[in-house]
Amino acid sequence: MTTRLDTRFADLARAGRAGLVTYVMAGDPDRETARAILQALPGAGADVIEFGMPFTDPMADGPSIQAAGLRALGAGQTLRKTLEDIAWFRASDPTTPIVLMGYYNPIYIYGVEKFLVDAKAAGVDGLIVVDLPPEEDEELCLPALKAGLNFIRLATPTTDDKRLPKVLQNTSGFVYYVSITGITGMATPDFGQTASAVARIKKHTSLPVAVGFGVKNADHASAVARGADAVVVGSALVDQVKGSLDASGKATAGTVSAVTDLVSSISAGVRGARKAAE
């Protein structure tokens, strides 16, 4: 079965460029503004959208995304509303892939079977669930694949060649390479080592490899795009939301454009980079 992610990465390969994967948090800073950001992302240059599922106890997220999750939860965002937001987006955009990213607890509480049915119906294409290792594939990964959703796994600088085949088992859509050892939005990656890591992963899989964590601007994105199939930007966009809020933490007239302006700049960096010969 060909998914929206398969189609998008095949289109990118034919175009000879890397893709841009943008992460924003559902419901941040409020549902209406988050929907407006979501709707504007493809026009600004996003090829794939990661939509964060707010959670109080994230293990891989740095202060920026943790704060975004708390803003969203404080504004009343729930997993049910997040799925409704995606269904709303799908009414006007049937082609841009959307991947839900977050943690297992909210899905477990929602109910795995109901979640997968509702996610598929809403137009979700894939899942990144950070705290479910491959040893727990029967919990969610295998049911998600059976439901027709991609299940994207993270590989890190500490994922060696012995561990990598296990990580890649049942992974689909793309592989998300975490370019630093640590949490989101903190260190800047060594782009030379990132390219080497992507090349090593590609010896084990034919899946596209997207690189994220620490990519903050067009120069960073361009450097990553020379060696990867896609560049993931998250904390830098979430910081744009935070920086646009008024003194009471509410969205302003500049919140959506603060995000889309940076996406446009980074997209130009990605599109201008030539992929390294494969």
Catalytic machinery residues: 50, 61
d(CA 150, CA 5): 8
**Which pair of tokens denotes residue 278?**
């494969």
Q: Could you list the beta-strand ranges (E) of 4-125.
A: 19-25, 48-52, 98-102
Look at the alpha carbons of 230, 231, 237, 238 in this order and tell me if their dihedral is positive or negative.
positive
Q: Can you list the alpha helix ranges (DSSP code H) found in 137-245?
A: 141-146, 164-168, 191-202, 218-225, 235-244
8 A C-beta contact, residue 229 and residue 251: no
